[in-house]
Chains A and B, each alone.
Chain A
Amino acid sequence: MTSSWFPLWLSLRVAVLATLVSVPCGLGIAWVLANREFRGKELVDAVVALPLLLPPTVLGYYLLVVLGASSPLGYLYEALFGRPLLFTWQAAVVASAFYATPLLTRSARAAFETAGPAYEKAARSLGASEWRVFWRVTLPLSRRAIGAASLVAFARALGEFGVTLLIAGNLPGKTQTAVVGIYDAIQRGETRVARIFVAALSGVALAIAYAANRLGRRAVAE
């Protein structure tokens, strides 16, 4: 029984870690896009949104190439951790983070651009450094919107399928997440296992949608 719960446990772990990775990345990119003017800014914005639009197999292929043992990044990872990145559960974290980051970036940029400017102006005129403006003004003012976006990003990370299958594989007990597990179970005709995972993931998604909506509404009300 323990082993049959493993995919769910792995999914949660992967999604939490992917969210933890994508929040700082997303906030950083969003801040730059909201506050800095530079050439090619809209192109950067488009590239950031690309994972949402690319077919998962295409994105998976890119990641296979970029993170493979023969690539510089893959080589670096292997040199640091002593084993290749591909076909481990850590690769699933990377796959999910690629999906979660654009969602966060979009929401955070919108929040920074609407909540911030006038208050940031006030803070700067009071002598606050850019760093202090961000931590004490921008972030607190957009915290609910970012909270809601993080929840959605978490749900998205939890549901990642195509890229995970391509770069983390489907190794039961090692890299098989709940979503991949459902696919695998149906393939093998084990509908009971599939039903458990489906019910669990649906429950989590519903709870997150509810919480994110409430947070989002309060963010608008502020």
Chain B
Amino acid sequence: MAALSLDLEFQAGQGITALFGTAGAGKTLVLDAIAGFARPDTGRIMLDDRILFDAASRVHLKPQRRNCGYVLQNDKLFPHLTIRENLVFAADRLPRLERHRRVNETLERFQLAAAAGRRPQEASRSEKARCSLARGLICSPRALLLDAPFEGLDAPSRNEIQQLVRSARGDFQIPILLATHHLEECCQLADRMLLLHDGRIAQSGRPREVLEQPASVEVARLLGIANLFQAEITALDPGRNTSRLRFQEYELTGTYFPGHLRGDRVWLCVRAADLRATGRNGARPEANQVPVKLLRVSDMPQAVQLEFSGDITVEVPSQEFEREKDNKEWVVEFPPAALRVL
């Protein structure tokens, strides 16, 4: 980790901000810096109007004084304490009666009453994840930091915990920062996402917008967009909102690409689910269709992923593939609205 250097600037408002990046991109380091466990070389970290860290004036509040709920990777519940004692430990700074009330309330709210007397190693994964979240929130922190909180959970438990995070967003009205390397989590939960790549924020915005319009090839790769091709813009017509692209030896029609010039060499970026693959059956390819050979078929939960010659990947719904699977010759259609250039 010594070689990791980060240089970022961002603001996270109320709601859930996802910090998205591959393993080793520095997500945990960002959370650690906010929580007070890592000391940046320069810069400033503020929470509301409080300075948590300022390199210039040598302010570096201890983690204890930052009042950030920090849910660490793999829950990190104290193994020698029961679920209830874990919460009592976190609520220690409250007066005794208030603490008692708050712990009971939290146990109810996070559906942990039945497991209260169990040690973490006797509790289910879901109970541990719930307790870890509850422990981070019990003292009403000013911000909540979640480090891959859904890792290792099965789908039902994951949904359950995600629901709790959503309701925490509504109830606590604090910034929630979620470090994750799962795109689905960003889309399902986050109001905003920050893409961490190469030590900086490569792109930020609403998850849907980021997915629709990646800012660069790196971002597109990070988002798992399978189809990235080099292409050349051969025509642009703002009046009719059209453009033409040369891709391999084919001409494709797209919408108008503002900010580009004719002759620009660009990256053509199309999501696998936006392409359509159909049988060719001897017919000549129509406009925006490219004849291809099917190389590999792999099953996904609700779709089938088809890999064609020319590194083209298409996702089609399983039923649609059932109808088409006997085709010998294929064409892939590039719908104009699906074409993005980077």
Contacts and interface: CB of A to CB of B under 8 A. Distances in A.
B262 interface: no
Given A119-B78, A121-B72, A122-B76, A136 B89 contact: yes
A128 B64 contact: yes
B179 interface: no
Given A118-B72, A136-B89, A124 B63 contact: yes
A122 B70 contact: yes
B79 A122 contact: no
Nearest to A125: B70
A141 B72 contact: no
A40 interface: no
A132 B64 CA distance: 11
A103 B191 CA distance: 54
A94 B78 CA distance: 37
A137 B62 CA distance: 18
Nearest to B32: A121
A129 B89 contact: no
Nearest to B31: A125
Counting chain B CB atoms within 10 Å of each CB, which of A119, A122, A128, A141 scores highest? Answer: A122
Interface residues of A, number: 17
Interface in B153-209: none
A124 B76 contact: no
B72 A122 contact: yes
Counting chain A CB atoms within 10 Å of each CB, which of B69, B90, B135, B139 scores highest? Answer: B90
Interface string A106-126: 000000000000110111111
B89 A125 contact: no
B50 interface: no
B80 A140 contact: yes
Interface string A15-38: 000000000000000000000000
Contacts of A141: 78-80
A189 interface: no
B76 A127 contact: no
Nearest to A141: B80
Contact of B68 (A125, A128, A129, A132): A125
Interface of B: 35-37, 62-70, 72, 74, 76-80, 89-90, 92-93, 135-136, 139
20 contacts: A118-B74, A119-B76, A119-B79, A121-B63, A122-B70, A122-B76, A122-B78, A122-B135, A123-B78, A123-B89, A125-B68, A125-B72, A125-B136, A126-B89, A126-B92, A127-B67, A127-B90, A128-B64, A128-B89, A140-B80
Given A125-B136, A127-B64, 9 more contacts: A119-B78, A122-B72, A123-B78, A124-B36, A125-B36, A125-B37, A125-B68, A127-B92, A128-B89
Ranked 6 nearest A-B pairs via Cβ: A125-B70, A124-B63, A126-B90, A122-B76, A140-B80, A127-B64
